[in-house]
């Protein structure tokens, strides 16, 4: 036990004590083993958190630098007379405008995340909201994109339930989940939106797609800011990488819980469960 304690003190959490019997010495041995396991788990979690923090800082720097570099480059080309063709100048101005909008959106989303994280629960704009109506409104907004790719949007929603929450935020949540599903859905695929009351009185909101799926090892990290699934099929998917991080905070402040089920090559289903305390029957 002395050697095990010394090993733990030096950072080696693999050393274990052989425990025999049920007396006080055996109890101490088990406590040392448990301490080693807990410290090992804590160190692993700390290292993962630190990696995510470093990746976040690096990703923010990269994501902000890219539009700024593009804006500066095109602006200099116009300003110093390198480009004189009127059509090219218009094209460059359009690209500058697009990158400016992207930069503004990214900053706005980062501020949204910070604002959500500063509060533990909803404090404004709280009212019973018809979930089925919100789902329909969101799918109507997604219809323009889905029609172009022949993606079918299917809705199965209970008209008799309402969720107590903030309307703008719930619209944003369903839009994020629906837009994500559309980005990864194959042409001629189907996206299913479900909002139903469960036996325990809670309400289940789910969005399911038929996309490439998410590898199991990536699932715990998809809610992190700027986290990207490092697979070839994701490289050309547009977006800031902040959508699910915002969704996570909206789910949290509404007192809901989220689960993700995904099978590579089959599809992904996001489930959000609102507790019965937040549910009102219409």
DSSP 83-131: ---HHHHHHHHHHHHHHHHHHHHHHHHHHHHHHHHT-SS--SSEEEEEH
Exposed (0-12), middle (13-18) or buried (19+): which is 89, by Cβ within 10 Å?
middle
How far apart are alpha carbons 57 and 3 in whole angstroms?
Answer: 40
pTM, entire model: 0.65
* Interval 196-212: pLDDT, tens: 999 999 999 999 999 99
Q: What is the pLDDT of residue 198?
A: 94
pLDDT at site 235: 44
pLDDT tens for 78-110 read 888 888 888 889 988 998 988 888 788 778 777
Rounded to 5 degrees, what are φ and ψ at 20?
Answer: -130, 135
Q: How many whole angstroms separate alpha carbon 44 and alpha carbon 51? A: 11
User: Is residue 120 very low, low, confident or very high in pLDDT (cuts 50, 70, 90)?
Assistant: low
User: Could you give the domains of the chain?
Assistant: 1-118 (1.10.287.130), 126-281 (3.30.565.10)
Check: CB of residue 138 under 8 Å from CB of residue 171. Answer: yes
pLDDT digits (tens, 9 = 90+) for 7-51: 878 888 888 888 888 888 888 888 888 888 888 888 887 877 677
Q: Which of 22-26, 107-111, 157-161, 239-243 has the lowest mean pLDDT?
A: 239-243
What is the per-residue pLDDT for 70? 84
Contacts 24+ apart (CB under 8 A), 252-257: 252/116, 253/116, 253/119, 253/120, 253/121, 253/122, 253/169, 254/122, 254/163, 254/165, 254/166, 254/169, 254/170, 254/278, 255/121
């Amino acid at each position: 036990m002395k050697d095990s304690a010394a090993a733990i003190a030096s950072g080696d959490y693999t050393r274990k004590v052989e425990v025999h019997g049920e007396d006080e010495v055996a109890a101490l041995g088990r406590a040392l083993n448990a301490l080693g396991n807990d410290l090992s788990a804590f160190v692993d979690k700390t290292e993962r958190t630190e990696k995510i923090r470093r990746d976040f800082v690096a990703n923010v720097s990269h994501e902000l630098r890219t539009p700024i570099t593009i804006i500066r480059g095109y602006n200099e080309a116009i300003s110093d007379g390198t480009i004189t063709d009127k059509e090219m100048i218009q094209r460059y101005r359009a690209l500058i405008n697009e990158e400016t909008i992207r930069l503004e959106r990214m900053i706005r989303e980062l501020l949204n995340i910070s604002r959500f994280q500063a509060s533990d629960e909803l404090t404004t704009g709280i009212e019973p909201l018809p979930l089925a109506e919100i789902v329909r409104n969101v799918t109507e907004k997604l219809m323009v994109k889905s029609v172009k790719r022949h993606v079918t949007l299917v809705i199965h929603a209970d008209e008799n339930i309402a969720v107590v929450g903030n309307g703008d935020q719930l619209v944003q949540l369903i839009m994020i989940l629906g837009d994500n599903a559309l980005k990864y859905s194959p042409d001629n695929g189907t996206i299913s939106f479900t909002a139903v009351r469960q036996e325990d009185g809670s309400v289940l909101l789910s969005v399911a797609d038929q996309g490439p799926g998410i590898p199991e090892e990536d699932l715990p990290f998809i809610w992190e800011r700027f986290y990207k699934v490092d697979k070839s099929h994701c490289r050309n998917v547009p977006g800031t990488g902040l959508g699910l991080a915002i969704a996570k905070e909206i789910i949290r402040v509404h007192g809901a819980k989220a689960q993700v089920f995904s099978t590579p090559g089959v599809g992904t289903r996001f489930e959000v469960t609102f507790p019965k305390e937040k549910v009102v029957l219409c």
